[in-house]
């Protein structure tokens, strides 16, 4: 009897021991190369979210398997293949870069697993190629620049010059601004991505064109470089610079350290801000700052939301992760406390949400951050949703 009992116990230990998480989530982001700083912010947010939920969803243990896309669509696809085929994860999430997501999505979707983008929102996946298993918890690429175009109209900008990188997201950003901006586009330069880091030629053209405003989009470390050159070219103060995803909690401390005061007062638009007033956001930003000693970026906010979003789906099926139909139905409701406040999921599984004006300011302790203004677009759905047959 005792022997049998011991045997059962041994088997039970064996079953439980090799960190046998019940739910495995693959998380693809950039952990090497110069843009790894974004991946680090996302991972920190995921870790914080795991801490907040006690490492459990619907009572089941959760394991996160991080994978590095090396800032390269082919490497990202291979990392995704390893997650799906070797690690056999239940859900794949993450993805900073639109081109990486576009290359990797078929791997996950063909395996009939749920894919959640925590940043990239390329137009094909929102429109004709939308998929029942794909969800975006951030935004569609065009939306934020569309809000910015609207902001430009309100600020009385009549002529605009666009400078952006020549890849999937850069093209979407430019298209987004042009969709809502009512003035005249006097020039447009699409630069080589990601290698071009000197914009002297483009900035000379901006100077010659004398626009009312310049729109730009340079995510990651290219952003500070662009803004510095903008200042050195003597454009700062002459032509206001408007940006999306270029100034964030990752780059602002660098500007602060370098004492580049001209960045203060710069305007941008976004679906979220660190000082957005809701309980979930206060908890997230407060605990993030306590744990890591810095403001979270929007990448972090989206990653945190992605984990909470997955949790809402897992709880709806009581932890039965095999019930993919039930999961999908639950995820469509987006029934969780998002750090951005209330929003709904559109037919194409992209959020319908507000976009706010944000201005770069100093906070009470002298740290550079952004102050959220009013909503420029409310309950906004991306323009590709109508092309999605879902």
Partner 1 sequence: MDYVLLIEQFLNGFQLGIILFLMAAGLTLVFGIMDLVNLAHGSMFMIGAFVGGTIAVVTGSFVIGVILMIPAMLIIGIVVEMTTLRTLYPRDHLDHVLATFGLILFFNEATRLIWGPEGLIVPLPAFLDGSVALGAITYPVYRIVIIVVGLLVALGLYILVSRTRIGMLIRAGASNRAMAGALGVNIPLLFSIVFGIGAVLAGLAGLIITPITAAQIGMGEDVLILAFVVIVIGGIGSIRGAFIASIVTGVIDTMGRSFLDVFLLLFLPENAAESAGPALSSMMIYILMAAILFFRPQGLFPPKGAG
**Residues forming the site for partner 1 (CB under 8 A):** 33-34, 36-37, 40, 166, 188-192, 195, 197-198, 200-202, 204-205, 207-208, 221, 224-225, 228-229, 231-234, 250, 254-255, 257-260
Nearer to partner 1, 184 or 333 (CB): 184
Of 232 and 318, the one with the shorter C-beta distance to partner 1 is: 232
**Minimum CB distance to partner 1 smaller for 109 or for 206:** 206
Least distance from C-beta 70 to partner 1, angstroms? 11
Which of 198, 320 has the CB closer to partner 1?
A: 198
Residue with smaller CB distance to partner 1, 134 or 298: 298
Smallest distance, partner 1 to C-beta of residue 116, A: 25
Q: How far is the CB of 72 from partner 1 (least distance, A)?
A: 12
Closest CA to 216 of 265, 164, 167: 164
Beta carbons within 10 angstroms of residue 82's beta carbon: 16
Range list of H helices, the chain: 2-16, 36-52, 73-81, 98-110, 123-126, 143-154, 168-180, 200-209, 222-232, 252-258, 279-292, 298-316, 324-333
Residue nearer to partner 1 on the CB measure, 282 or 289? 289
> Angle formed by the axes of helices 98-110 and 168-180, to 10°?
110
C-beta of 192: minimal distance to partner 1 in Å?
Answer: 5
CB 359 within 8 A of CB 266: yes
Residue located via tokens 């590095």: 68
Q: Residue 123 or residue 136: which is nearer to partner 1 going by CB? A: 123
SS3 category, 368: strand
CB of 249 to partner 1, least distance (A): 12
Supply the DSSP string of 190-252, one letter for each residue.
EE-TTT----HHHHHHHHHH--SEEEE---TTHHHHHHHHHHHTT-TTTS-EEESSSS-TTTH
CB of 353 to partner 1, least distance (A): 29
Distance between CA atoms of 143 and 26, rounded to whole angstroms?
27
CA distance 171 to 173: 5
- CB of 14 vs partner 1, minimal distance in Å: 39
Nearer to partner 1, 225 or 375 (CB): 225
Q: What is the dihedral of CA 257, 261, 226, 158, to 10 degrees?
A: 160
């Amino acid at each position: 009897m005792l022997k049998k009992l011991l045997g059962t116990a041994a088997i039970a230990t064996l079953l439980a021991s090799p960190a046998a998480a019940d739910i495995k989530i693959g998380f693809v982001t950039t952990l090497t190369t110069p843009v790894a700083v974004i991946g680090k912010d996302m991972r920190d947010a995921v870790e914080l979210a795991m801490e907040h939920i006690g490492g459990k969803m619907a009572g089941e243990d959760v394991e996160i398997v991080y994978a590095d896309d090396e800032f390269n669509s082919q490497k990202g696809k291979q990392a995704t293949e390893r997650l799906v085929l070797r690690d056999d994860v239940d859900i794949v999430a993450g993805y900073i870069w639109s081109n990486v997501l576009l290359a990797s999505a078929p791997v996950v979707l063909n395996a009939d697993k749920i894919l959640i983008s925590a940043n990239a929102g390329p137009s094909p996946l929102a429109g004709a190629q939308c998929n029942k298993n794909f969800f975006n918890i951030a935004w569609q690429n065009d939306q934020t620049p569309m809000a910015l175009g609207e902001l430009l109209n309100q600020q009385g900008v009549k002529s605009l010059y666009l400078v952006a990188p020549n890849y999937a997201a850069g093209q979407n950003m430019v298209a987004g601004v042009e969709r809502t901006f009512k003035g005249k586009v006097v020039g447009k330069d699409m630069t080589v991505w990601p290698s071009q880091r000197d914009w002297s030629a483009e900035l000379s053209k901006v100077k010659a064109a004398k626009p009312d405003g310049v729109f730009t989009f340079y995510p990651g470390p290219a952003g500070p470089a662009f803004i510095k050159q903008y200042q050195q070219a003597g454009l700062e103060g002459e032509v206001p610079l408007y940006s999306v995803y270029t100034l964030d909690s990752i780059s602002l401390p660098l500007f602060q350290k370098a004492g580049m005061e001209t960045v203060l007062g710069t305007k941008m638009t976004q679906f979220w801000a660190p000082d957005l007033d809701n309980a979930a956001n206060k908890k997230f930003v407060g605990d993030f700052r306590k744990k890591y000693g810095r403001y979270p970026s929007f990448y972090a906010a989206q990653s945190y939301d992605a984990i909470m979003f997955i949790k809402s789906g897992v709880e709806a099926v009581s932890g039965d992760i095999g019930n993919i139909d039930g999961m999908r139905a639950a995820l469509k409701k987006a029934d969780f406390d998002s750090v951005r406040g209330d929003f709904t999921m559109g037919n194409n599984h992209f959020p319908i949400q507000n976009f706010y004006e944000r201005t770069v300011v100093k906070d009470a302790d002298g740290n550079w951050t952004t102050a959220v203004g009013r909503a420029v677009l409310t309950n906004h759905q991306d323009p590709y949703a109508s092309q999605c047959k879902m």
